[in-house]
Amino acid sequence: MSTKPDSTPYPLGVSLREGAVNVAVHSETAEKVEVAVFDGPDGAERRVELSERTGHVFHGLVPDAGVGTRYGLRVHGEWEPGEGLRHNPAKLLLDPWARAVEGMWTLEEEDFGHLHADPEARNDTDNGASAPRAVVVDPAFDWGDDRAPRTPLADTVVYEVHVKGFTQQHPDVPEEIRGSYAGLAHPAAIEHLTSLGVTAVELLPVHQFVQDDHLVEKGLRNYWGYNSIGFFAPHNEYSSAGQGGEQVREFKEMVKALHAAGLEVILDVVYNHTAEGNHLGPTLSLKGIDNSAYYRLVEEEPENYFDTTGTGNSLNVSHPAALHLIMDSLRYWVTEMHVDGFRFDLATTLTRQGGDADVHSAFLSLCHQDPVLARVKLIAEPWDTAGYQVGGFPAAWSEWNGKFRDDVRDFWRGHGTLGDLTQRLTGSPDVYEASRRSPVCSVNFVTAHDGFTLADLTMYDEKHNDANGEDNNDGESDNRSWNCGAEGPTDDEEINHLRNRQRRNLLTTLLLSAGVPMILGGDELARSQGGNNNAYCQDSEISWFDWDAVDDDLLEYTRKLIALRRCTRALRSTVYRGDGRDGSADAVIALRADGEPMTDAEWQDANAKAFSLRFAAEGSASILLLVNAADNPVEFQVPDPDGKPWTLAMSSDPEQAVGAEVQTLLVRDYSTTVLLSE
């Protein structure tokens, strides 16, 4: 009796067998699928046809292949762009389920399925000699006593950071591992995170991505990485150990080290599109396997791609094949790589099945019922190029709250209202409460990777993106004054003092608001990008952390803010609270500077710039924020603390003083003072 193992259609991708690997590829339109294996001493290619087919899955065993084998796919079928068919066996395709990738695409014409001179004509030039290969990976890893921190959302403080930029210039990280997964796992890197007090790192994209040819031609690079092609593979350029599967082990070691320090790992994932672009883009993977299953095509013009991402294509989340790919990827990163959550780039695109965003879409429904994803953090960027959906995701999701960013910035530079600011400070009940969602559904931020850093936000009224090679026409304009230039003080020393206060005002508002705060990595150091507010293409000193130019005072101020948040339950509520008039000890109380309640008109008065906000909770210290965004000092009537006297906890004004039994307090212009009562 033969003991030869049979080929199976599941799992998709490569799975190890004795003396062979099982390969399974989904395609409803292919006529034949071959596995191209590069395992000879001269790198010669041998092809093995996947001779079995179950439903729409081609599968078969590839003999004499195993851990370390380099391979790609050759998919045969019709080339009819007008019908959405783009098969081209001359192109070596990446297995969508590949766990590791060796090499990078150069995006020469041979990597395109069509001819540049005639996009309707098939390009039969073979790219097998130059295209990157997938690598068969050993899944074994000693996780030891690794445990997910499982930090509750109410206690979470997120630190958005780039794997490379964080340690590329860190003097205490060995040079050979700077800018890598191992660099982020180094004790010096972890010590900064733990001493700061954050609980989670949110890593900019680490899925294998492609360098854009138009950037490379200008001597630039896709630094942020929002150009994914391999949804299971850690990006190989961030590996210090090698690209032959070593990147997988190094990533796991990073997660294990971060977990040991109590830090969660959240991945910024880009499932809304891929690096294959539109009808003029390269043929790297999905486009050549089953174009219409994986991408949304224009209904009446299937040679064109339906694009709500601004990148040329959108994944076809109405098709089971694309959903299968996304869900398998998510589960893999949780079960095999031990990550703790995901931030979904342009998540609204993933909810568009028939065109409109749908809270009951298949993607969201699958996430809700999945037992693996039920225990991790799910964070949406709730918009895409076709719509803004803040507040529109289900209760189990948190969202990047763009309203928080906009309203907080507006208030502190003199354009907002007390009513809008109070909504953001209290967890945005105007956005989430009516749908029975919680304050922790709001991920609050004032800066993120996309835009000015905190330091630049308070230093520049105009963007300075000249290094990006687009004549400073890229990136959003932001020319509203921060009262640090022509409209404010003219003395250089006073301008500097005002900038410092504004940075502290923004950080104080962020870290003492209800919801989940997210800090842009480096803001606590006063990291500057020289006014570049669109540094996506700057893999250089413009984007990397400059550890020799740290604002130590701002760093210490940020540490104290996070520590204050951590020790004060009144700031970490998971429910919306009333104003205390019902006698509840859990309350948020807003008052005018004179201690009187705000009127309806004052809430929306753009000229009203000062008020106090008290956070109280039974069994917790009370926090009182005295907020003054006016250009003159304001005297506050301090309310009765109902307990021990108020003490000074923090102030964006380093000269703020508080007496033993304070009843009134003068808060200088553009300042926030925080009082604490045990």
**Cβ contact 12:57 at 8 Å:** yes
Structure tokens at 245: 């599967």
- Confirm whether 80 is a catalytic residue: no
Q: Which residues contact 284 (CB under 8 A, 6 or more apart)?
A: 91, 93, 94, 105, 111, 131, 210, 229, 274, 275, 276
Strands 377-380 and 341-344: parallel
Compute and round to an integer the Cα radius of gyration of the chain: 27
C-alpha distance from residue 339 to each of 28, 182, 253, 458 (Å): 32, 16, 12, 34
With DSSP H G I counted as helix, E B as strand and the rest as coil, what are the percentages for the chain, rounded to 5?
Answer: 25, 25, 50
DSSP state letters, 80-118: EGGGTEE--TTSPBPPTT-S-EES-----GGGSSEETTE
Residue positions counted in the chain? 678
Structure tokens at 316: 């076809």
- Confirm whether 83 is a catalytic residue: no
Strand locations in 158-284, DSSP E? Answer: 158-161, 200-203, 207-209, 228-234, 264-269
Measured between alpha carbons, how far is 674 from 612 in angstroms, rounded to an integer? Answer: 10
Measured between alpha carbons, how far is 337 from 181 in angstroms, rounded to an integer? Answer: 13
Sheet holding 70-76, edge to edge: 45-49, 32-38, 70-76, 133-135, 101-102
Helices (H), 518-645: 552-566, 600-603
Structure tokens at 192: 């900064």
Kindly report the number of other CB atoms within 10 A of residue 571's CB atom. 22
**Active-site residue, selected from the candidate residues 102, 237, 345, 399:** 345
Q: How many helices and strands (H and E) does the chain possess?
A: 15, 34
Measured between alpha carbons, how far is 226 from 351 in angstroms, rounded to an integer? Answer: 19
CA 506 to chain centre: 21
Measured between alpha carbons, how far is 92 from 283 in angstroms, rounded to an integer? Answer: 9
**Active-site residue, selected from the candidate residues 202, 381, 456, 669:** 381
Write out the catalytic residue numbers: 345, 381
